[in-house]
Amino acid sequence: MRRFTDIVALVDDLLSRVEERGEARRLLAYPGDFRSVAEEDAFLAGLRSLEVDGALRAKRARVDGVNTLVHVTLGDLDKLYAFRKRTPAAAMSRSALRPVRDMPELPDAAPTVLDAIEASWSRNVAWSGLRQGEVDDLVAAIKLAAALGRLRGQAGEFVSVDYRTFSRRNTGDSKALERRTRLVVELFRRFFPEIEADRGLEDADLLASLGVERFAQPLLLGGTLAIDGAPLPATPFFGLPADQVRRLTVEKASYVLLVENYASFVRHCREVNGHSGGLIIYTGGFPARAVLGAIVSLISQSVCPVFHWGDIDLGGLRIFAHLERSLAGVGITLLPHLMDPAVLDKHGSSADRSMTPLPAHLTTSLIGPLWTFMAGLTRPVELEQEELDPAMPGQADAAA
């Protein structure tokens, strides 16, 4: 029950509620406990004036022989807005978005998205963190989302650009993407809904898959390699810019192992791959587009099993699925390494949240059985790969 001792506050509350609800039925406001006779007289005088004008309606009843105010409800909305010299939120939103709708080369889905934003703003509700009237941020975010769409169709595996350069090139503001990452990604998903397979990715991971990353990620790998035809010296692992991968040649590889986390990558290179029989590649968590392109280029040189080792949690399984889908596009099957129900059952620890159900597009994925197992657990369990000692792929997985 909303109670007021100030008529202006009462009117503002009623107007805000009618905007939030989108309709005026059954909106009531009640008188509060007045601190003085003067305060009550001022409230009632203001109410009577608005009643006479038709802007408000009041219900009164006889209580102990005294004519008493029970509640107040809406009358003529236009007159209430005029009293407060206030523009309706719907009109403000419509006006604010008019120049946005006139932007050149908007994606085909943009009008529908702008309708949704206008509907939210008309109820004084933020849309994906964007509050009413933040038009400059919206314009910048639309430009960035459209630019991401162009990146999707851009040829070349080694597209790589940092957040600030990408923002400056497309908006003139180098920090626009950092400020509004969530909004930009939401607009991108709505503008280009055909990216269903990537819908489960975190915002930063989706951007990385398109080649936009906060800092350029180097390519780290271990194995027997040559650069420009010259064999590299024996060392646990090497690093170089991902776009230089075409200079590398895989001299030999009995297996390929992609590793999600740095500590596990280093340990496997030092403790298991000492004779450089395998090609070990650090994905850096979710691999950036340039790193993924480098991975595909290197694996294509090798005729051997390809494995991935990562965390057994939602993020780790999503990374596996993304890598699996990317490699399947060039005819390569990705196998899980130390990522199965037996390993989780033996080494896992309690998780804070349950696993989501297996997405429909992953029903044939090799990570599907583990995902389904985790989703069916009564008590959620997960496993960080650093909890495990590195082991030779194939042998360790057969033993598990």
Kindly indicate the confidence band of residue 218, based on its pLDDT and cuts at 50, 70 and 90: confident
* Residue finishing a domain among 84, 105, 140: 84
Is residue 181 located within the same domain as residue 296?
A: no
How much is the pLDDT for 92? Answer: 94
Is residue 189 located within the same domain as residue 230?
A: no
Average pLDDT, the chain: 91
Is residue 41 located within the same domain as residue 161?
A: no
* Residue finishing a domain among 68, 84, 100: 84
172: left (phi > 0), else alpha (psi -120 to 50), else beta?
A: left
Is residue 262 located within the same domain as residue 115?
A: no
Is residue 232 located within the same domain as residue 370?
A: yes
Q: 266: domain CATH number?
A: 3.40.1360.10
Give 145-179 pLDDT, tens digit per residue: 999 999 886 755 667 889 999 999 999 999 999 99
Give 367-389 pLDDT, tens digit per residue: 999 999 999 999 999 999 999 99
* Residue finishing a domain among 20, 51, 84: 84
Is residue 269 located within the same domain as residue 374?
A: yes
Question: Taking the complete model, does pTM exceed 0.95, yes or no?
Answer: no
How much is the pLDDT for 400? Answer: 55
- 65 CB contacts (<8 Å, ≥6 apart)? none
Q: 49: domain CATH number?
A: 1.10.10
Is residue 209 located within the same domain as residue 236?
A: no
Lowest-pLDDT range of 193-197, 225-229, 231-235, 340-344: 193-197
How much is the pLDDT for 262? Answer: 95
- Domain count of the fold of the chain: 3
Is residue 262 located within the same domain as residue 135?
A: no
| The residue type at 73 | T
Is residue 101 located within the same domain as residue 136?
A: yes
Is residue 69 located within the same domain as residue 209?
A: no
Give 46-84 pLDDT, tens digit per residue: 999 999 999 999 999 988 888 899 999 999 999 999 999
Structural domain boundaries, residue 345: 219-399
Is residue 344 located within the same domain as residue 373?
A: yes
Kindly indicate the confidence band of residue 215, based on its pLDDT and cuts at 50, 70 and 90: confident
How much is the pLDDT for 102? Answer: 96
Is residue 354 located within the same domain as residue 323?
A: yes
- The answer to whether residue 396 scores a pLDDT higher than 90 is no
